[in-house]
Amino acid sequence: MSDLLPALNGRYGDHPDAVRVGGDSISWEGLRGRAMAVGGRIAGHHAVVVEATPTLDTVIAIAGALAAGVPVATVPGDAGPLEREHILRDSGATAVVGSASFETALPVVALDPGDGGEVALPEPAPDSAALIVYTSGTTGLPKGAVLSRRAVAADLDGLADAWSWTPDDHLVHGLPLFHVHGLVLGVLGPLRVGARLTHTVRPTPELYAGAAGTMYFGVPTVWTRVCADTDSAQALRQARLLVSGSAPLPVPVFDRLSELTGHAPVERYGMTETLITVSTRADGERRPGWVGLPIEGVQSRLVDDHGDPVVHDGETVGHLQIRGETMFDGYVSGGRADDFADGWFVTGDSAVVDSEGFHRIVGRTSVDVIKTGGYKVGAGEVEAAILAVPGISEAAVVGVPDDEFGQRVVAFVVSDGVSAAAIDEHVGALLTTHKRPREIRLVSELPRNAMGKVQKSKLL
Ligand code: MLC
Ligand code: AMP
């Protein structure tokens, strides 16, 4: 494990609370002992699942899987039953590590606070799978992206370079531990760089202000909320770097945050499949609305509908494609080739690039991929949950622009007498919380084109 996470090998000394999650903390040596011990109990498993609630136990369970070289899939603590069962099955997991709030036929390998000491485990191969992270597509259930140790290491090294991230840093955030942002950057990042971590459990302005970090991570919704709380925002003046990502940071939020904290935020762009690939730099220009340059080890290109290069004039929009060391290995269920064009990963994002190579993300190619509070939500998955409610004949889900969440999930439903409240209750029991429509609008019909296809643009 020390090749991937050198802080756990004593390379950077130690702190009694090197990793803190809410009220619980642990030293790096303590975390290594706990991880090695649980790793020893799961070694040889095909894959494991961790219910990634914001707890220190989640960090220990994931570190244990990494120590054992067993790929670990993360399940949201509030996952709907369909999504959870899908992840348990699709990941090929043969055990759950830590506690599980759900019923499962798989063995549950418990964590033991008495664990520690030295359990020797061989260093897993750099090309072996580290994580299986689920991300939504336009239709169907989420897909599990397999991320190798090599890709994770390359990404964290590229980001450490871009952000001048060193052992002197103390990272603070409260992002979910089942996605790339909170888990790869937010937990494995400090363990690779040798920086302390405080996870605040929830990403609230007050908790950020009280944590006295040098670096802070947030999705744009978090920064919008920080800006609305002047006292908390001003407490961040003592920080070194504020980083935003997972969705576009609105320019007024960038400006207000700069004004209140004295720090122009660093904005970075990425995807579960590619990890974080483009960023502004701690030692470079931080331009509102722009996400900067490819990090070390990553290349980008901009192409038109025919795959021909698009001019880098800062204005002409093209399809953004990525390649490099941070790339995923494929989806655990198979399938990867469709997502590539001549070896370049097709991101599904539209962008412009200027003559200096600075990138601006313009939007998604598909209206069926919604970003709400930094979470990706596939319209098709939500529509399927709504259509499972008896008495519903048609449903169309869209992302409506929203000042706080970027987009909010809104469902247009043709219902045979079923009320919006009843639909919400039914769907709420099936779906992970952030995928639930915030609004359900009952309509008599959906707008369709001559081919019978729903015209979602008319619903926005
Ligand atoms: C939410 N609630 C709902 C609801 N949606 N209730 C009814 N119907 C709905 N549709 C409930 C919640 O459960 C919560 O309840 C309460 O309403 C407040 O929810 P909220 O307003 O949504 O706020 P919050 O829960 O604080 O969520 C905002 C947020 C969250 C920003 C904290 O969206 C978040 O953590 N986002 C981060 C996503 C992320 O990390 N993405 C990275 C993906 S990786 P209660 O009872 O709990 O209060 C990636 C790659 C990259 O994208 O580039 O990083
Ligand atoms: P996910 O699949 O959850 O990893 O989401 C990846 C998507 O988030 C990308 O394809 C983008 O659409 C979006 N995204 C991530 N970071 C940014 C950013 N800084 N600006 C705009 N969009 C972003």
Give the number of the ligand closest to the Cα of residue 347.
2
The mean pLDDT of 262-290, rounded to a whole number, is 98
Q: State the amino acid at position 360 in one-letter form.
A: R
Tokens standing for residue 451: 């081919």
Count of CB atoms situated within 10 Å of the CB of 231: 10
Closest residue by CA, ligand 1 atom 2: 433
**What gap in Å lies between CA 287 and CA 267, rounded to an integer?**
9
Alpha helix stretches (DSSP H) within 220-282: 220-227, 230-235, 251-261
pLDDT in tens, 93-102: 999 999 999 9
Count of CB atoms situated within 10 Å of the CB of 153: 19
**What gap in Å lies between CA 332 and CA 129, rounded to an integer?**
10
> CATH for 6-198?
3.40.50.12780
Instruction: Count Cα neighbours of 362 within 13 Å in the Cβ-side half-sphere.
Output: 15
The mean pLDDT of 357-386, rounded to a whole number, is 95
Tell me the percentage of the chain whose pLDDT exceeds 90. Answer: 95
Q: What is the pTM of this model?
A: 0.97
Residue 394 CB burial class (10 angstroms; 0-12, 13-18, ≥19):
middle
User: Mean of the per-residue pLDDT values for the chain?
Assistant: 96
Q: Where are the domains of the chain?
A: 6-198, 373-458
At 410 the three-state DSSP class reads: strand
Asked if residue 219 has its Cβ within 6 Å of ligand 1, the reply is: yes
**Confidence at 327, pLDDT banded by 50, 70, 90:** very high
Task: Name every protein residue with a CB atom under 6 angstroms from any ligand 2 atom.
Answer: 135, 180, 245-248, 267-272, 291, 347-349, 361, 364, 371, 376
Tell me what pLDDT residue 32 has.
96
Asked if residue 397 has its Cβ within 6 Å of ligand 1, the reply is: no
**Confidence at 302, pLDDT banded by 50, 70, 90:** very high
Question: Is a pLDDT exceeding 70 seen at residue 232?
Answer: yes
pLDDT in tens, 76-119: 999 999 999 999 999 999 999 999 999 999 999 999 999 987 78
Tell me what pLDDT residue 221 has.
98
Tell me what pLDDT residue 365 has.
84
Tell me what pLDDT residue 337 has.
65
The mean pLDDT of 324-332, rounded to a whole number, is 96
- Of 371, 381, 434, the one to substitute when testing ligand 2's pocket (max ligand atoms within 8 A of C-beta) is 371
Q: Is the backbone of residue 328 left (phi > 0), alpha (psi -120 to 50) or beta?
A: beta
Question: Is a pLDDT exceeding 80 seen at residue 336?
Answer: no
Q: What angle do CA 341, 343, 348 make, to 5 degrees?
A: 45
- Of 375, 405, 409, 427, the one to substitute when testing ligand 1's pocket (max ligand atoms within 8 A of C-beta) is 375
Burial state string for 158-167 with b = 16 or more CB within 10 A and e = fewer than 16: bbbbbbebee
What architecture is the 373-458 domain classified under in CATH?
Answer: 2-Layer Sandwich (3.30)
The size of the chain, in residues, is 460
CA of 155 to the centre of ligand 1 (A): 25
CA of 26 to the centre of ligand 1 (A): 27
